[in-house]
Amino acid sequence: MSTSDDWNAQVIAEFRANEGRVGGNFEGAPMALVHHRGRKTGRETVTPTLYLPDPEDAATMYVFASKGGAPSHPAWYYNLTTAGRAEVEIGTETFEVTVEEITGAERDRIYAEQARRYPGFAEYEEKTRGVRTILVLALHRS
């Protein structure tokens, strides 16, 4: 198991033990557990991620393929866009979502809001400048 797998396992355990709340750097931030199936392996994986609720549509949330500012997109991004569907845990509730990639000016607006709320996202964007654009996915409750 890799270091990131260990870290994810600890966050997932804390999330589930505390009805969707975690401490540390993420205390008070909206966190979801995204369930996705590997497009190559077929194995189900759960990834903790911060999200941004859509202010006008309670059935929509945005997730950000930041991978901590790494030069490549996270595997979960490819898994979600390939499948077009996923399952999400927020708090003690689990539900199905459809996946939509957000692009252009709408992507920029949504990402800027996330970076305003959580400055780490501005740092991730700076790290990836000229290498890749951090992608934004809308998860729509089915």
Place of tokens 């393929």: 65
Give the per-residue pLDDT at 1.
53
**Residue whose structure tokens are 């396992």:** 9
Q: Which residues of the chain have pLDDT under 70?
A: 1-2
| pLDDT for position 120 | 95
What does the pLDDT read at residue 2? Answer: 65
Q: Which pLDDT belongs to residue 5? A: 77
Report the predicted TM-score, pTM, of the whole model to 2 decimal places.
Answer: 0.94
Which of these, 92, 120, 82, lies nearest to 33 by C-alpha position?
A: 92
User: How high is the pLDDT of residue 53?
Assistant: 98
pLDDT at 59: 98
- pLDDT at site 56: 96
Q: What is the 3-state secondary structure (H, E, C) of 1-33?
A: CCHHHHHHHHHHHHHHHCCCCCCHHHCCCCEEE
Contact of 91 with 19, CB cutoff 8 Å:
yes
**What are φ and ψ of residue 115, in 5° steps?**
-65, -35
Q: What's the pLDDT score for residue 55?
A: 96
The H or E element spanning position 115 is helix 104-117
1: which 2 tokens? 């198991």
What pLDDT, on a 0 to 100 scale, did the predictor assign at position 7? 87
Q: Find where tokens 């870290």 sit.
A: 7
